[in-house]
A and B are shown apart, each in its own frame.
Chain A
Amino acid sequence: MIEDDFYRTSSQFRLWSFTEDSLRSLRQDTNRLASDRVRDALRRAREARQSANSSAAGTPNPNGSDADSKTGDEKDIECLTPDEEQELVRYFCEQIVQLGESYKPPLPTIVRATAIQYLRRFYLTNSPMTYHPKTIMPCALFIATKTDNYYMSLRQFAEGVPGDTSAEDIIAPEFLVMQSLRFTFDVRHPFRGLEGGIMELTAISQGLGQPAPHNPNQSPDDLRRTMLSLSPPPNTQSSSSISDRLARAHHNTREILKSAAQMTDAYFFYTPSQIWLSALLLADRPLAEFYLDTKLSAPNLDSTHTLTQLRAKLLTTLNDCSALLHSYNPLASDPEQKKALRRIGKKLYHCQNPEKVNLAGQKRIPAAAAAAAAAASVSDPATPESEMERLAKKRKLESEAKRRDDIFGGELVMERTRERQG
């Protein structure tokens, strides 16, 4: 199918599609690496603090009780599990929806959806323990306004963000986020596809439908008649016109796409057209099945025909996808989840990587800032200085190595001055 080949060229398919296993192992890897790093960082911070304390107190050898408490602390560091991380990210995805709502006028659904996908993609390879979602979330939303052509100035955007977040704070992790997105900003959403499907269904309901390419014998009247004779979707009153029914299906599907499709892993596992069709299956099963049949079945096809096989396979995939969408349970309606989230939040407070807190400073001189953050409590002015010197030295060494490797030699001016010196 030629449309499928169009989709296969997208970065969403090439880079951001996963099987269930690969997604799980990716999240586990990310979590493991991040927790190791958090433990290291916390230990370093504590050591730095202790050495500072000890030097300030003037007692060079720490007593036994100190050592005991240290090992006790070491055990205390309990990192988030991958599932907890996922819960947390999901909470912030919901936050994106609310933040978008708070603007006047509210941000378009597609911008919010893009931002949510950015956040989800970002936390595939980064852990909330390393970068707190609270700092990443506004940045993702801001990038989404830019990539989806919904222009907002940064100042205007920052005003809408609650808390005392400055414009500087919002764009601080911008490069970091873009890098983690692998600079692929294109997110294929199911929304426009839904519009197309409803558009065509409306045409069919008015007797203006065109036969599908694989089934040229369909006539508009036949299609219309079949559509009118569909059994009504369950849990609705049967007396409603076809246009009402379409409108209702459209609305319900869109609601599912706006919430369930965003908050679950549907985008990673399924293609946009599969997502909207499974959402339609949830909203109005007879209608969705009728629509699929107009596309993928023809009279007198045997079971070995590719179209029949495709249809069977597609139906199982769509059912899986709609089961996934159906499993979504909004946070607001579930006090259990809220309680769990509060617990995770507290836990995160303790296992947050201290070296990555100040992103705004880190943007300028990353390593130095991290070191400065680590040594913030230490009142030793020599450390940052020596750090700077060391960095400068390292940079110099690196540039020299680069010059050696460069086949065209270094910069001319540098070469000449060296010659003159030599």
Chain B
Amino acid sequence: MAPSREAMVNRGDEDEVCPVCKSSRYLNPDMRFLINPECYHKMCESCVDRIFSSGPANCPVAGCHKTLRKNRFRKQTFEDIHVEREVDIRRRVMTVLNRREEEFDSKLDWDNFLEQREEIIFNLVNGIDVAKTEADLQKYAADNMRSIRANQVIEAKEVTSFQERQNQEQELARMRRQAAREEYENERKELLAGREDMLSRLASGRPADAAAIAREGQKVMLKKSSARRSEEERIRQKQAALRGTDAKKPGQPTVAAEEGGSGLIKGLKKIKTPEPEKPYDPFGGIIPNQRDYFTLQDHYPSTYLDPIRQDTRMLAGGYDLQEYYSRTMLEAFAGLGCFIDDELSQRQAHSFNVMKPVGTQGAALAATSTSTAGK
């Protein structure tokens, strides 16, 4: 397979000619072709250097009036220029429409989204409604910048973690292989040593014991090998379990996107931003020193209170005129809105009469006791 491919490439290279400068590979074997995703016209590296080194310029291909920049030129990945173009478009659309399955309400919505994305790609590739589609895409990108960015980050993370896992697994496999090899080596050595031992015992022992010794040696071997096998099994199970948990773990929480319903994509989950925890309020909603009827002032002009502000004899003990102000002002309005008539009739409706003639009850007791005494 390899030679045929090589041949194909070579054959293609043979008669390759730069459409701009008409120089062929035959004359210049180091010639490399570059394309620009603006118009996908192929040209050689020297042409690109020549035409675009001094800044953006028009495409030299006749009839193509696209303005190209040097830094956008790159190597062609696919042989078919149409495939190359489609892949580029697909990549671009995918970076913008990078919603994830977790963000959708249902499977159907996710599938609809996938279909919609394919539609957009198809339109762009085949030049159907390009202006409108591009505009939609632009608008969506602008509106959903944050969620796009967040999903990109997630994706990048997934990729790196996937690679890490891959590396880890390879490392594990390597170590397993090495352990197996060592084990095999040990076993072999033991087997040899056992055989040696048995032979020497057979040589030194009596002929009657020969059968017994041989049997014993067999048994030891068997025991060892079964022990090893169970050990291996155990390790394998453990690793399998580990892998299982690893596979389950990467269920990242979806990053909350700020836009509930973007115009382009339907069926996105409503994002609930968690209620930010309120700061602890030790007074349970009551603001200390907050009053409804008056605003406490720092100073009230008064001919007989003002001297106190300078009176050391009063201030020395810690007397604070502010306390007096707040108390008098509070008492001036405490209960202004208590309408005793209304509130008492409500209270009596709720409970039995609170007021009980205590004194008369006491007097009643005394009276009855005296009345019994009198008789």
| Contact surface of A with B, Cβ cutoff 8 Å | 1-4, 6-8, 10, 13-15, 17-20, 22, 26, 29-30, 33-34, 37, 40-41, 44, 47-48, 122, 125-127, 130, 176, 179-180, 182, 188, 192-197, 199-200, 202-203, 206, 208, 210-214, 269-274, 276-277, 295, 310, 313-314, 317, 355-356, 366-367, 370-371, 374, 387, 390
Contact = CB atoms under 8 A, between A and B. Distances in A.
Interface residues of B, number: 50
A125 B364 CA distance: 12
B335 A19 contact: no
Nearest to B369: A367
A26 B357 contact: yes
Given A125-B358, A366-B366, A374-B374, A6 B295 contact: no
A4 B334 contact: yes
B165 to A, nearest CB: 62
> Considering residues A33, A276, A387, which has the most beta carbons from chain B within 10 angstroms of its beta carbon?
A33
A3 to B, nearest CB: 5
A6 B330 contact: yes
B300 A33 contact: no
Contacts of A14: 354
B106 to A, nearest CB: 48
Contact of B339 (A41, A188, A313, A367): A313
A1 B358 contact: no
Contacts of A22: 344, 348, 353, 355
Nearest to A25: B353
Contact of A371 (B297, B302, B335, B370): B370
A29 B300 contact: no
A351 B284 CA distance: 57
B66 to A, nearest CB: 65
Contacts of B296: 210
B360 interface: yes
A2 B291 contact: yes
B4 interface: no
Contacts of B301: 202-203, 206, 208
Contacts of B297: 200, 203, 208, 210
B346 to A, nearest CB: 11
Contact of A196 (B295, B331, B341, B353): B331
B336 A199 contact: no
Secondary structure class of chain A's binding surface, majority of residues: helix
B131 interface: no
B332 A41 contact: no
A303 B367 CA distance: 58
B363 A18 contact: no
Contacts of A272: 331, 334-335
A269 B341 CA distance: 7
Contacts of A273: 331-336
Interface in B312-338: 325, 327-338
Contacts of B348: 22
Interface string B298-310: 0111100100000
A180 B334 contact: no
A355 B368 CA distance: 12
A77 B285 CA distance: 62
B340 interface: yes
B282 interface: no
Contacts of A310: 337
Given A125-B357, A273-B334, A370-B366, 16 more contacts: A2-B292, A3-B292, A4-B334, A14-B354, A15-B355, A26-B357, A194-B332, A196-B331, A200-B300, A202-B300, A202-B301, A208-B299, A212-B294, A314-B336, A367-B373, A387-B373
A44 B374 contact: yes
Contacts of A356: 363
B293 interface: yes
15 contacts: A2-B290, A4-B337, A4-B338, A7-B335, A13-B338, A13-B340, A40-B371, A125-B359, A196-B332, A197-B332, A213-B293, A213-B294, A271-B336, A371-B373, A387-B373
Given A18-B340, A273-B332, A390-B373, A33 B357 contact: yes
A214 B358 contact: no
A145 to B, nearest CB: 21
B8 interface: no
A199 B300 contact: yes
Contacts of B290: 2, 213
A272 B331 CA distance: 8
B345 interface: yes
A203 B290 CA distance: 20
Given A3-B293, A26-B355, A192-B331, A271 B340 contact: yes
Contacts of B360: 29-30, 33-34, 125-127
A277 B333 CA distance: 9
B286 interface: yes
B292 A214 contact: yes
B362 A179 contact: yes
Given A17-B340, A19-B345, A180-B358, A4 B295 contact: no
Nearest to B367: A37
B156 to A, nearest CB: 53
B289 to A, nearest CB: 10
Contacts of B292: 1-3, 213-214
B334 A6 contact: yes
A354 B47 CA distance: 134
A40 B372 CA distance: 12
A123 B340 CA distance: 21
A15 B367 contact: no
Given A22-B355, A355-B370, A3 B341 contact: no
A176 B363 CA distance: 10
A193 B370 contact: no
Contacts of A18: 340, 344, 355
Shortest 7 CB-CB contacts between residues of A and residues of B:
A7-B335, A271-B335, A196-B332, A196-B328, A193-B332, A180-B359, A210-B295
Contacts of B371: 40, 44
Contact of A8 (B325, B330, B335, B359): B335
A182 B327 CA distance: 26
Contact of B334 (A7, A206, A214): A7
A18 B292 CA distance: 26
A367 B366 contact: yes
A273 B328 CA distance: 11
